């Protein structure tokens, strides 16, 4: 059995300790031991400040998260969404529809002229001109398709811990300048 010893404290301190002791332990000895263990294990001195309070830390963390969210939204707005819109516009334009539209327009012109002239001679200069024009447009379309395939192969999906994934286009400066010079209107 443990022996007891007496320590003299001021009456005001003893009253405070008894109230506190009832809240945290069954006996005064258990309360004192748990407090001493806490100070020893955490290497805390009662004379040192523990630093900022939890509420101020929570406020700082919330501010940092708000800042991170603002940065991510800014990146989405100014980098990801415009690139996504460009990629969708490139993908949405179906090359088959373009060739069909070109073929239809060409044949409509030829039919309109043939109705006016009643007979279309395949060796007529206008027909040859339109055939050559059609071949040239098809070559250009084929080149655009090849360039689009190259671009699509260089698209990488980047997945982040925050927000939605976004697309990154890995082109060198030279490749980008070549594409710009090739497709920008003069």
Cα separation, 168 vs 80, in Å, equals 8
Residue 26 is part of which domain span? 11-41
Measured over the CA atoms of residue 164, residue 170, residue 173 and residue 177, the dihedral's sign is negative
The 10s digit of each residue's pLDDT in 128-161 is: 777 888 888 888 888 888 888 888 888 888 888 8
Residue 108, in any domain of the structure: no
What pLDDT shows up at residue 5?
Answer: 86
Question: Does 19 map to a domain?
Answer: yes
117 pLDDT exceeds 60? no
Mean pLDDT across 156-184: 85
Instruction: Note whether residue 137 is domain-resident.
Output: no
The total of other beta-carbon atoms located within 10 Å of residue 13's CB is 9
23 domain-assigned: yes
User: What is the structure's pLDDT at 67?
Assistant: 85
CA 63, 65, 71, 73 dihedral sign is negative
Question: What one-character DSSP code corresponds to residue 25?
Answer: -
In a domain, 31, yes or no: yes
Q: How far apart are CA 69 and CA 74, in angstroms?
A: 8
**Structural domain includes residue 65:** no
pLDDT range class, residue 52, cuts 50, 70, 90: low
Q: Structurally, how many domains does the chain consist of?
A: 1
The mean pLDDT value for 45-57 works out to 72
Cβ neighbors of 80 (< 8 A, separation 6 or more) are 164, 166, 167
pLDDT band for 81, please (50, 70, 90 cuts): confident
Cα 87–84–145 angle (5° rounding)? Answer: 5
Cβ atoms within 10 Å, residue 114:
14
Q: Provide the pLDDT for residue 12.
A: 95
Residue 36 lies in a domain: yes
On whether residue 150 sits in a domain, the answer given is: no
CA angle 165, 169, 174 (to 5 degrees): 165
């Amino acid at each position: 059995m443990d022996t007891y010893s007496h320590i003299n404290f001021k009456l005001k301190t003893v009253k405070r300790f008894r109230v506190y002791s009832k809240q945290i332990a069954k006996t005064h000895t258990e309360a004192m031991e748990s407090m001493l263990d806490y100070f020893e294990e955490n290497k805390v001195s009662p004379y040192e400040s523990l630093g900022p309070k939890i509420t101020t830390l929570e406020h700082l963390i919330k501010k940092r998260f708000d800042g991170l969210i603002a940065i991510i939204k800014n990146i989405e707005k100014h980098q990801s969404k415009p690139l996504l819109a460009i990629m969708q516009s490139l993908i949405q334009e179906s090359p088959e529809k373009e060739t069909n539209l070109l073929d239809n327009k060409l044949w409509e012109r030829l039919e309109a002229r043939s109705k006016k002239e009643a007979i279309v001679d395949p060796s007529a200069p206008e027909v040859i001109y339109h055939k050559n024009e059609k071949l040239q447009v098809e070559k250009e379309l084929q080149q655009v398709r090849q360039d689009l395939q190259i671009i699509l192969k260089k698209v990488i999906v980047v997945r982040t811990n925050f927000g939605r994934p976004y697309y990154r286009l890995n082109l060198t400066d030279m490749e980008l300048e070549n594409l710009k010079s090739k497709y920008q209107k003069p």
